[in-house]
Structure 1
Amino acid sequence: MIQRRNFTPAVYTAFVLAALVTVLPFTCKAASDDGSTLYYSANALYNQKLYALAVGEYKVFMEKHPEHAKIKDAHYGLALCYFSLGKHAEAEPELKTVIEYGTLGNTNQLHLMLGQCQLKLNKAAEAEESFTVVTSAAEPGPFAPIALAGLAETQFRQKKWDATVKTTDRIVASEPSQTMLIRGLYQGGYARHQMKKYKEAIPVLEKLLETKAAESLKLQTSFILAECCRETGDLEKAAKNYAAAIELEGSKHEVLYRLGFVRFMQKDYPGAVSALEQSLKVKPNSSFAANARIYIARALIKQKEYAKTIELLKPAEGAEEPNDETSLWLARAYTFQKNPVQAAKVLSSALERYPESKLSRELKFDLANAQIANSNFKPAGDLLSTLLNDPKWEQKTDATRLYAVCLHKTGDYTKSLAMADNFLRSAKNDSSIPDITFLKAENLYLLEKLDQALPVYKSFISKHPSHSNVDSATLRMAQVHYRKNQWSKALSLATPLAEKKPSGKVFSDLEFLIGDCMFRMEKWDEAIASLTAFLTKHPSGDPRIDTALVELGVAEVRKGNSEKAMTHFSKLVENHAKSPHCAVAYAELGRINYEAGENEPARAALEKCLELFPEGAQVPKATYYLGWIALKEKNDAEALKQFQALVTAHPGHKLSSDASLQLGLLQLGAKKYVEAKATLKAFLTKNPKHAEAVAATYTLGVASARSGDKNTAVAQFRQVATKHPKSEYADRALYELAWCYKEMKNKNEATKAYESLLENYPTSKLTTRVRVELAELTFDAKDYEKVIAELETTLEDLKDKNLREQTLYRLGTAYFNKGVFAKSAKTFEDLIAEFENSKLIVSATYQAGESRLKLGETEAARGHFLAVTKLKPDADIMESSLMRLGETESLTKRWEEASGSYGAFLKKFPKSKWITRARFGYAFALEKQGKHEDALAEYRKVLAGNKKDELSVRSQFQIGECLFALKKYDDAIKELVRVTVNYGDKEWSAKALLETGRILETKGEKAMAIDQFRKVVEKYPDHNVAVVAKQRIDALRRNK
């Protein structure tokens, strides 16, 4: 459609006030003052039309005599001067002032002048008010016509179209001058056009054309009249007036464009092309150029001149891509030319460049049709779906039909069915109803909704017996019966249809269907004969060959012909590797080969079955036989994996029960105790009298014990030991029973189980282990001498590495607890040397360190504690080992290593019960390295605990020592005094007093130092510090 033009109205400001000469008084006989002289002088100048000079006089008068009696008259004169000079901005306020006085001049004249000024100043709203005063006055006098013209102008400028119409109607009715009539008709006609009152505008504009208006105005009027005629549907008159307006200055290209549009609407396509081409010739790049080309193209398409259309719209090489509308019509030209590929390219490009275009819906719909023509159903469907969800798209029925087809072609039969139903509900007498009815039936069939599909096919055949898809529908009905296992009904439809010998690929299914029905009816000989005949006729290329082969193989299996069956199955997997029937073929090939003892080909076939058909019905069989192959090859992990997969994924399968027993045994071997427990429990529930029930019961006990379910384990082991004492599992059941009781803290029952085993099964391989573990029970009773005696004896002939390892550890622990540290150290060190990867290595190494430390062998002890820290033990042992390491490094005067160990301890165990002890050790090691400031900080952290223990008093003393070393003698003395004051510890008070003397001595205060040393001797005569104090006294006296 063509857009309605927004005209810029012609504004005329040339109308003027006529006969508005006002003469002002210029003499006053009574006036003798200077003010009056100035006033009348100004009046005189005004009357002489020396307006500029008069302005000067009035201003001087008003400035010098603001209170003069003639001041108001002066404002009146000044207003007239400004108006006469055309200084409307200066005249406006003066006129307003004079009007406010209300005593000077003619009110109508003053408002008319004010309106003129305001109109000149583009104050249309204010001018409207001023002119309205005159036009609404009871007696406007000679000012009425000009005021009406002025009022119409102000309303016109403000686009008050309704008011403009009313005012211009008054002007026209008032028998105005020719000039005012022409202006009034133009404004009235234009205003009606803008109000879309086209029918009312037409006679007004036609009357204007009858006047002696200027040629340029007539051209403008003809154009507006043409627009009104077009809008009212009078295309013939519109074309006539457009033709009359062709020479409209600056708009010729537009007039021609609109003329071309009207001719297009009149279906005068050659005329439309002529006018539009002239428009382009006048101004090739105008704002109408693109639309002109569009309508030329549309006119050409109407004339079936598609090549010319494409030539017109197709961009030149390297030129900018066409816009959205151009693209739309270019694509349609390609479509009419039967070139959907090119049409799709154009439309796709346009949608990419103009995604928000108003034409996007049309572009999408056309692109969908092009894509359908190109068999690109998925993108076509996506476009149609978007349009169907767009409330502004009107062609819903057509889009629904096409969308149903696209969905069907892309395999989305559910949605296609819904769309087909929507179409059939909404379409009335549509020619596509038969096609969509058949499509609906096809969707139902392909969705496996066979019972629903059958009546739709029947209805389709009944209502549209001559439709091209009737035979296809008949075939589908046969297939429905076939799918419903109604072999006889399927044959009753397929046989007569086959006799018609229908052509087409879809009907190649008929011969196979007939043979397949016989197979389904288990008529093996007939099935073999029919399927063999089918394969003879279709040796390759037919999609049913694979099914025929698998059915032949199965039929031969049913007849007991394994070799023939293998031939068919092998041919199937070799020539039809992607067929779903290969699952059966591979599974049967695997089974047949396994039963023949051919493990490798059996495994290859079964693994191929799982690889290609991981979700297929043959998975249980393939998995089961793979499990047995793995068992035969002693690959327990693989066997477990296969049996687990079978039992988990297919618990109800006939092979699952047998697989579950093997799975339970394998799970136990893999230490999957919880899983083994559940599996074996289920097996025993289903198979209580199975030949392997005892083994399963024992294994269930083991799995229960290992999973923490001691009560269930005890029950199972007791059942084996009491009900099956002669089984090979009886001694093991008693051993496991003892362990259960030990873990349940029932040492008496555990002892009984051990003793029962030793008594009833003296030749069992478990007796040595049982004796060791009995010794553990004795150990728990703290009878270390007995433990040592039993374990020393056992150790002599013990060859089992695991038991030897445990025995060494127990023996070392017994030595340690007994206080025999030399033996405990050696025993633990033997364990370390013999079992360097032992799980007990951390504990054994730590105990070896403790043993050496007890013996005072700090160097050896340190080596063990260091080794523990490198073994990354658990937190408790790490805590103890790190503490011991710091202590032994201090004892061996490795101060730097000690500070590192203590520092690590402080970071890792900030809440340890030994934290204060570690901090003191850290501080002391720092002090020994000469890091007195750092040591001071750590000692003070010890004191922050506000305790009165040995570490606190020692820290207080060491603070004094550090300050002494730092030569902060006075501070050192103060801290040493606190040793006695805060703690009162005799030992450290004595040392603190001695150190105070040493500090004074160092400071050179010998007398005070001697006094301090004397106090040490007097206060602590029996302490070793007294000896040192005496020595210092003697030395100081000698030095005097």
Structure 2
Amino acid sequence: LSSLALYGLGYSYYNLKDYENASYYFDDYVKKYPESKNIVEVKLRLADSYYGNKEFTSSSNIYKNLLKGINRSKNADYVLYQYSQALFKAGKSKQAVKEFKDLQRRFPRSKYADKSLYVIGWISFQKNNYEEAIKDYKLVLKKYPATSLGPIVYYSIGDAYFNLGDYESAISSYGKVLVNYPRSQSVFDAVNGIQYSYVAQNKTEEAVSFIKEFVIQNPGLNFTDKLSFKIGELYYGLADYKKAQEEYNTFTEQFPKSSLVPEAYYWIGKSEEQQKNDSDAVKNFTKVYESYPKSQTAAAAVIELSNIYNRLKRFDEAVSVLKSSLDNLRESSRAAEIAFMLGSTFVNAGDVSSAYDAFNDVITYYDGTIFAEKAKLELGLIDLSAKRYQNAEHYFRELSEKLTDDIGAKAQYYLGETLFEQDNLTDAISAFVRVNTVYPKYDEWVTKSFMKLGDSFVKMKDKKKARQMYREVLNRHSKGEIAIEARKKLRRIR
């Protein structure tokens, strides 16, 4: 390709933010046309492309080489700033700070000077050196009083004070964002900071009063609904469910057109449920699902409804809402979970045949999800209960061979159970031993495996090993039902 073609392709991909392809063409240009009049510009774009593709070491090397040939050109401050940033993001923070300081020394009027000093403060913050971060942030305001970074600097100072536990100073700094920059994008975060500073001091009512007063004084802001919504969150987080319910109700009246209204009704339902008001909880969850089916909260409301109906043994109603939602919420990220809950509801209702079909549907339509794996486990348990050992073994073996989580641990245990029930004791013992070997952190299944190992050795008339296994159960759990069972089995061995 000609130099013009490589140059054009590189810039086309660069402007599309396809930095991988951009770097390919810019790099090709540099190799083929090192004497080109555009070589410095192309090298800079190559470095920027590496930077955009998060190849920070490669980008920093090019920026460094460019700096050797650039002194007071129009791009020198930019190159030095990018070089410093690349060093920082490559994990070389000490060297980055040195270069950021060099930028302020060499280019005190650069548009990157205030940014470079701010990043120095951010580096101190990241290292948990909050006092140093505060000094650096304050220096930004002192050296560059007209900086556009003012809101974020005050907010960052507030965060540093918050992490030091100096909540009053944090409130003061966050407050300067509200007073000096009431229309900035940092206002919402600053209000959050003030709220959490009050809460950290157990001053919940002060936090609530502050938010309410701020909303009254700033009705035109486009996030007042989000701030008001936080009042309910505060009370719910403190387990004051009655006040949470009241505040969420107030929210729906005050902001009826807010996108957060479905979520408010959802949390009203949760608050009612926590107060044992199941009928009112059902009413609010139903409202979310029926009135706001396109909201992100609709699926969560269906799941809560299903949980309540299952707990109350109103299985037909649970099945009805789950089936309906599978049609209406098929694009939801929680559709697989809803489909799995349908199968679980059939299990709870004793309808094993329908449960089997439902779990098969989960595997068919939601393959690759965690709920497909859970469905396979449930199918294995149903097959084991029905003594369809070959099917059960298939599911349990598949899961235990590819998963290392709790599902894999449970599957491995039940693989042992399946083999044990068929009197294939040698393979059963191997399966139970593998639970402890592969899944040692899942105590429930490891302990149960030791119990079944004891049972297996009893069947094999190896009393010594059987005793060892039951004693291992007692070593792990000296109290509780499993300990009682282990002691009974030990006493039976003569």
Q: TM-score range by the shorter chain?
A: 0.5 to 0.7
Deviations 1:375-396 (A, max 9, x none): xxxxxxxxxxxxxxxxxxxxxx
Distance 1:921 1:831 in 2: 35
Corresponding position of 1:701: 232
Contact 1:906 1:919 in 2 (8 A): no
What is residue 118 of structure 2 aligned with on the other side? 610
User: Following superposition of structure 1 onto structure 2, how do residues 415-814 of structure 1 map, counting pairs within 5 Å?
Assistant: 577-578=104-105, 582=108, 604-611=112-119, 614-619=136-141, 625-626=148-149, 644-649=155-160, 651-653=171-173, 655-657=176-178, 658=182, 661-663=187-189, 681=208, 684=211, 687-689=214-216, 690-691=218-219, 692-702=223-233, 705=236, 710=241, 713-743=244-274, 745-755=276-286, 757=288, 761=291, 765=295, 769=299, 770-771=301-302, 773-814=304-345
SS for the counterpart of 1:887 is helix
| Residue 341 of structure 2 is aligned to residue 830 of structure 1 | no
Shift, 1:796, TM fit: 3.0
Show the counterpart of 1:855. 386
Partner of 1:937: 464
Shift of 1:811: 0.6
Determine the C-alpha separation between the residues in 2 that align with 1:647 and 1:727.
Answer: 29
Post-superposition offset of 1:839? 5.0
**Counterpart of 1:919?**
454
* Structure 2 equivalent of residue 900 of structure 1: 430
Please give the alpha-carbon distance, in whole angstroms, between the structure 2 residues aligned to 1:648 and 1:947: 54
Task: Tell me the residue number matched to 1:239.
Answer: none
Deviations 1:4-43 (A, max 9, x none): xxxxxxxxxxxxxxxxxxxxxxxxxxxxxxxxxxxxxxxx
Does residue 888 in structure 1 map to residue 418 in structure 2? Answer: yes
Seen in structure 2, the aligned counterparts of structure 1 residues 904 and 814 have a Cα distance that, compared at 3 Å, is same
Is contact 2:457-2:465 (8 Å) kept? yes
Larger RCO, structure (CA 8 Å, separation 6 or more): 2
Q: CA deviation at 1:867?
A: 4.7
Counterpart Cα distance in 1 of 2:466 and 2:249: 63
CA shift, 1:886, in A, is: 0.9
Shift in alpha-carbon separation, 1:812–1:952, aligned structure 2, 3 A: same
Per-residue displacement from partner, 1:779-816 (whole Å, max 9, x unpaired)?
A: 22112233223322332343233331222121111121
2:404 paired with 1:872 = yes
Give the structure with higher Rg (CA): 1
Checking the alignment, whether the CA contact within 8 Å between 1:828 and 1:848 is kept in structure 2 is yes
Query: Are 2:382 and 1:846 aligned?
Result: no
Q: 1:747 is matched by which residue type in structure 2?
A: D
Structure 2 vs 1, CA of residues 885 and 950 (structure 1 numbering), >3 Å: closer, same or farther? farther
- Paired residue type of 2:428: A
Instruction: State the SS of the aligned residue for 1:802.
Output: coil
1:741 deviates by 3.1
**1:731/1:764 contact within 8 Å kept:** no
User: Could you tell me how far apart the structure 2 residues matched to 1:660 and 1:829 are?
Assistant: 49
CA distances 1:729-770 after superposition (whole Å, capped 9, x unpaired): 3333112221333355542331232355568x4676468534
**CA distance in structure 2 between the aligned counterparts of 1:918 and 1:725, rounded to whole angstroms:** 61
Task: Please list the CA deviations of residues 634-682 of structure 1 after superposition, one character each: whole Å capped at 9, or x if unmatched.
Answer: xxxxx8xx77514324643464224664216999xxxxx999x989758
Number of the residue aligned with 1:59: none
RMSD (Å) for aligned C-alpha atoms: 4.9
- Relative to structure 1, the CA distance from residue 626 to residue 917 in structure 2 (aligned partners, 3 Å threshold; closer, same or farther) is same
Residue 727 of structure 1 deviates from its aligned partner by 4.2
2-structure distance, mates of 1:752, 1:798 = 19
Distance of 1:578 and 1:922 partners within structure 2: 78
**Change in CA separation of 1:918 and 1:818 when aligned onto 2, cut-off 3 Å:** farther
Which letter maps to 1:889? Answer: L
Could you tell me how far apart the structure 2 residues matched to 1:810 and 1:622 are?
58
Amino acid at match of 1:786: E
- One-letter amino acid of the counterpart of residue 903, structure 1: V
Aligned ranges for residues 391-430 of structure 1 at < 5 Å? none
What is the TM-score normalised by the length of structure 1?
0.28
Deviation at 1:684, TM superposition (A): 1.3
Q: Compared with structure 1, are the counterparts of its residues 742 and 644 closer, same or farther at alpha carbon in structure 2 (3 Å cutoff)? A: farther
Verify the 8 A CA contact 1:772 1:803 in the aligned structure 2: no
Separation of aligned partners in 2, 1:899 and 1:948: 18
Q: CA deviation at 1:720?
A: 0.3
Q: Deviations over 1:872-918 (max 9, x none)?
A: 334xx677544322111234565544212223457855994674443
Q: Structure 1: where are the runs of 5+ without partners?
A: 1-572, 590-603, 629-638, 668-672, 957-981, 983-1040
Q: Which runs of 5+ in 2 are unaligned?
A: 1-99, 122-135, 161-169, 194-198, 475-483
TM-score, with length taken from structure 2:
0.53
- When residues 733 and 700 of structure 1 are mapped into structure 2, their CA distance, relative to the original with a 3 A threshold, is same
Q: Deviations over 1:937-979 (max 9, x none)?
A: 32455798999999789x86xxxxxxxxxxxxxxxxxxxxxxx
Q: How much does 1:830 deviate?
A: 3.5
Instruction: Name the CA distance, whole Å, in 1 between partners of 2:331 and 2:154.
Output: 34
Distance in 2, matches of 1:578 and 1:864, equals: 67
Relative distance call for 1:808 and 1:680 in structure 2 (3 A) is farther
Aligned counterparts, 1:189-208, within 5 A? none
Report the alpha carbon displacement of residue 610 of structure 1 after superposing the two structures with TM.
1.8
Per-residue Cα deviation, 1:486-527 (whole angstroms, up to 9, x for no partner):
xxxxxxxxxxxxxxxxxxxxxxxxxxxxxxxxxxxxxxxxxx
Structure 2 SS opposite 1:578: helix
1:712–1:643 Cα change, 3 Å: farther
SS at match of 2:417: helix
Distance 1:756 1:941, change over 3 A: closer
- Answer whether contact 1:866 1:881 (CA < 8 A) is retained: yes
Change (3 A) 1:777 1:837: same
**Alignment match, 1:522:** none
1:828 Cα deviation after fit: 2.5
Cα 1:711–1:832 shift into 2, 3 Å = farther
For 1:871, the aligned partner's letter is L
- Cα distance change, pair 756–722 in 1 and its aligned pair in 2 (3 A): farther
Which stretch has the larger CA shift, 716-725 or 901-910? Answer: 901-910
The equivalences for 1:6-155 within 5 A come to: none
- Change in Cα spacing, 1:882 to 1:835, as seen in structure 2 (3 Å) is same
Aligned amino acid, residue 861 of structure 1: A
* Percent of residue pairs identical: 15
The alpha-carbon distance between structure 1 residues 713 and 857, as it changes in their structure 2 partners (threshold 3 A), is same
User: Which amino acid is 1:645 matched to?
Assistant: S
2:189 aligned partner, one-letter code: L
